[in-house]
Amino acid sequence: MTAAIRAEGLVKSFGRVHALNRLELTIDKGQVHGFLGPNGAGKTTTIRILLGLLRKDGGELTVLGSDPWHDAAALHRRLAYVPGEVNLWPNLTGGEVIDLLGRLRGGLDEARRAALLERFALDPTKKCRTYSKGNRQKVALVAAFASNVELYLLDEPTSGLDPLMESVFQDVVAELRDEGRTVLLSSHILAEVEALCDRVTIVRSARVVESGTLDQLRHLTRTTVAVRTAAPVSECDLGSVHDIRAEGGRLVFDVDPGELNGVLTRLLPFDVQELTCSPPTLEELFRRHYDEQVPGDVAQAKPEDVALADLVGVR
């Protein structure tokens, strides 16, 4: 499969601040790719470089096979963008903005435009200055999704939407995925990424700390087990488990990948009456990256040298 986006060793500084430090990002065509990271990690900077709005200081970058800095206008015919902070012209209506952005991109799909306005329940006759944040976001979403393009770059596109609209958004992205289009979805909403994304890249402090399919990431983290047994279990009976606690008459603990079978075997003699094993949510994956300090040596190491185990699952 060919890559829609390939960034290698992307570097960007603003004065002394390193916004991106050898960032790696590969997104295959037809993929919905989650892009996660705390505020200030470099997500928006990355997307703006992908668009050619900012110039990279170093590294290699192709978007849909071309250089976004040099071929910005031609490239933008083939992609659509929803900025994180949607700023619109206060004296234009939402409908006018949707048409304008569509025309500037080279045309939009009338049927989709009408359908999307309906689905997002957006009144296109209101002046943009009277829209709430969520409604401004809907204007940008309709303008982007009404265009027939190969690649969608979405920078925290749902941060102002209510849960109903959030689910409409997920439906639309799922349809795009089924049509084989490529989506880069930067988000803070983990359920959304879990529901939509084939692969996830997690950035932190200007570099990628983790990239892979959700399954791959889960493989590296602990499973949470909640068990009720007839006979009481003590900590030493279980072997290598973590964070044992009692919750509502059940014993809850975390198990490292690979240890699960052994732990279950050791549980059997205590007469298991109820057992739930839950894979880690993305929330937990995410939190592990954010809660832990990056070890001092990581800062000097090349990103590819950083073992995942150093960053994930070590407490």
Partner 1 sequence: MTRNALAGTAALTRLALRRDRVALPGWLFGLAALTASFTAMTVTGFESPQAVADDAALMAATPALRMTGLSSGGSVGSYALARGYLTLAVLAALMSVFAVVRHTRQNEETGRAELIGAAVVGRHAPLAAAVLVAVMANLALVPLVALAMVGQPVGGALVAGAAVAVVGLAFTGVGAVTVQLSPSTRAASGMAGAGLGLAFLLSGVGNMLGSVDGTGMRVISAWPVWLSPIGWGQQMRAFDRDSWWPLGLGVAALVLLLGVAALLANRRDVGRGILSERLGAARAGRGLVNPFGLAVRLQRASLVGWAVAMAAFGLLFGAISDEVVTVDDDPDGWYAQMGGTHQMSSAFRTAMLVIIGMALAAYLVQVLLRMRAEEAEGRLESVLATAVSRARWAAGHVAAAAAGSVVLVVVFAATMGVAAGDSADQVGELGVAALVHLTGPLVLGGVVVAACGLLPRWSGALAWGLLAAAVLLSPMFGPGFGAPDWALSLSPFTHVPKAPAVEVTAGPVAALVAAAVGLGAVGLVALRRRDLVLPS
CA atoms within 13 A on the CB side of 104: 12
Strands 3-14 and 17-28: antiparallel
**Lookup result for tokens 């279990």:** 233
Q: How do strand 182-187 and strand 32-36 relate by DSSP bridges?
A: parallel
- 2 lies in the site for partner 1, by CB under 8 A: no
In whole angstroms, the minimum distance from the beta carbon of 102 to partner 1 comes to 8
Task: Show the site string, 130-149: x = touches partner 1 by CB under 8 A, - = not.
Answer: x---------x--x------
Residue closer to partner 1, measured from CB, 135 or 221: 135
Select 68 or 280, whichever has its Cβ closest to partner 1. Answer: 68
Count the neighbouring beta carbons within 10 Å of the beta carbon of residue 38. 15
124 binds partner 1 (CB under 8 A): yes
Structure tokens at 19: 């916004």
Out of 25, 51, 190, 220, the only residue in the binding site for partner 1 (CB under 8 A) is 51
Is 53 a binder of partner 1 (CB under 8 A)? Answer: yes
Instruction: Please tell me the distance from the alpha carbon of residue 266 to that of residue 64, in angstroms, as a whole number.
Output: 53
**What is the maximum span of the chain, computed from C-alpha positions, in angstroms?**
73
Nearest to 37 by CA among 195, 186, 161: 186
Q: Residue 87 and residue 101: Cα distance in Å, rounded?
A: 13
Could you tell me which stretch among 84-92, 224-232, 234-242, 253-261 binds partner 1 (CB under 8 A)?
A: 84-92
Among 18, 29, 77, 188, binds partner 1 (CB under 8 A): 77
User: For the window 153-192, what string marks contact with partner 1 as x by the rule CB under 8 A?
Assistant: x---------------------------------------
Q: Shortest Cβ distance from residue 299 to partner 1 (Å)?
A: 23
Task: DSSP letter for 303, please.
Answer: G
- What is the Rg, in whole angstroms, of the alpha carbon atoms belonging to the chain? 23
Is 64 near partner 1 (CB under 8 A)?
no
Q: Which residues in this chain contact partner 1 in the complex, by CB under 8 A?
A: 44, 48, 51-55, 72-74, 76-77, 79-81, 83, 85-93, 95-101, 103-106, 124-127, 129-130, 140, 143, 153
